[in-house]
Amino acid sequence: MEFELKKLPYAYDALEPYYDKETLEIHHGKHHAGYVKGLNNATKKLAEARETGDFSLIKHWERESAFHGAGHFFHEMFWESMQPGKEDNKASGDLLEAIEKWFGSWDKFVAQFKAATAAVEGSGWGVLAKCPQGSLHIFAVENHQKSFPPGLRPILLCDVWEHAYYKKWGPDRVSWIESFWKIINWDKVAKRYEKVKTA
Ligand SMILES: [Fe+2]
């Protein structure tokens, strides 16, 4: 099975001025494409190892598979987590109620999500996810696959790898997160929440 790089659900310039065309083009066309390529390669190498019975590089290819696989999966969710922006962007309905229940208020949730995402050590993601027990939590995930407890169902992701923002914002990760907040597709996040709510 070959994994593929899907087209974005909007044009490269659709998220301007909050997310610039050039960064988005490179992010999707080079970086996400690299994860797809890496995942396909690791998948092929693992199949070869099963065929030949030579598992001497198993640690390496399992790590490659986890890294590129998680990168591919997160980026697919990330692209669909965004839409053309607006200043007063906010969740609504059941999702807003759940956020208020688990975080105390909308403002407290926003403050925690932004702080956790800004504080990710090195490359990583800010993630809002539903836990197997039913509650919503925010996680600072390193790379794509570390500090990510099993069983989580992510519903919102903010990419804070340097490739996501450095071209426009340089080391100012906080400004990227502020900008990202304006382009979150809350309808999509709400649909994901509905899907995992009772799972
Ligand atoms: Fe990325």
C-alpha of residue 12 to centroid of ligand 1, in Å: 15
C-alpha of residue 106 to centroid of ligand 1, in Å: 26
C-alpha of residue 52 to centroid of ligand 1, in Å: 35
Residues with CB under 5 A from ligand 1 (ion): 159, 161, 164
If 0-12 CB within 10 Å is exposed, 13-18 middle and 19+ buried, where does residue 99 land? Answer: buried
Tell whether domain 21-80 is in CATH 2.40.50.100.
Answer: no
**Domain 93-196, second-level architecture:** 3-Layer(bab) Sandwich (3.55)
- Whether 93-196 and 21-80 are alike in CATH topology: the answer is no
Give the predicted TM-score (pTM) of the model: 0.94
Measured in residues, the chain has a length of: 199
Alpha-carbon span 109 to 128, nearest angstrom:
10
If 0-12 CB within 10 Å is exposed, 13-18 middle and 19+ buried, where does residue 32 land? Answer: buried
Q: Where do the structural domains in the chain lie, given as residue ranges?
A: 21-80, 93-196
pLDDT digits (tens, 9 = 90+) for 16-42: 999 999 999 999 999 999 999 999 999
pLDDT digits (tens, 9 = 90+) for 54-113: 999 999 999 999 999 999 999 999 999 999 999 999 999 999 999 999 999 999 999 999
User: Cβ distance 139 to 130 under 8 Å?
Assistant: no
Q: What are residue 142's DSSP bridge partners?
A: 124, 146
C-alpha of residue 24 to centroid of ligand 1, in Å: 9
